[in-house]
Amino acid sequence: PVWALAWIGDRESAFGDRLVAFAAVEGIFFSGSFAAIFWLKKRGLMPGLTFSNELISRDEGLHCDFACLLFKHLVHKPSEQRVGAIITEAVRIEQEFLTESLPVDMIGMNCTLMKQYIEFVADRLLLELGFSKIFGAENPFDFMENISLEGKTNFFEKRVAEYQRMGVMCKAEENSFRLDADF
């Protein structure tokens, strides 16, 4: 989206502002789309798509976690008011996108609930960044409560979506960090 590119290319804003915008892109943008696809998973529909969604959603979550962790180490953080303005703008954009993307109500999912979910996600991000909630929204989708929990896939039933622990499938000598690699 244009908003994300504007922040990336903004040479005037402080690094902390741009980091918050990055966290918003990774943590707020597309969270409604992920929820819509997890809604399909709850109903046992489109297993290939929902499997891919799990992987992509997890990656976006890790990117957001990284931004929040890096933010905690900043010496010169933006003010709570500045962070709130960035997050509020991201919420508005995502809600507008979802209103256009979800014109028809479905059982257990509609524009109103989706907007509430985006506000819930934004509040959670604000807390992770060390600030107060703005929206005070509750999670309207029970099926989204457990998506961040580590799954236990039966290897013989379906493809595994969990990350593999480092070094599980290699020899000890292959599991070492070196700086002499030839690129």
Q: What pLDDT, on the 0 to 100 scale, is given for residue 170? A: 60
176 part of a folded domain: no
User: CATH number, domain at 47?
Assistant: 1.10.620.20
Alpha helical stretches, state H, the chain? 2-9, 15-27, 31-42, 47-72, 80-101, 111-129
29 part of a folded domain: yes
160 part of a folded domain: no
Mean pLDDT computed over every residue of the chain: 83
69 part of a folded domain: yes
Supply the range of the domain harboring residue 103: 2-151
179 part of a folded domain: no
Please count the other Cβ atoms lying within 10 Å of the Cβ belonging to residue 129: 22
**Range ranked top by mean pLDDT from 14-28, 39-53, 91-105:** 14-28
Cα pseudo-dihedral 107, 113, 118, 120, rounded to 10: -110
How many domains is the chain partitioned into structurally?
1
Condensed to tens digits (0 to 9), the pLDDT of residues 107-162 reads 778 889 999 999 999 999 999 999 999 999 999 988 887 665 444 444 444 555 55
pLDDT above 80 for 181? no
164 part of a folded domain: no
pLDDT above 70 for 37? yes
- Of the chain, the percentage scoring pLDDT greater than 90 comes to 44
Q: What pLDDT, on the 0 to 100 scale, is given for residue 127? A: 97
115 part of a folded domain: yes
111 part of a folded domain: yes
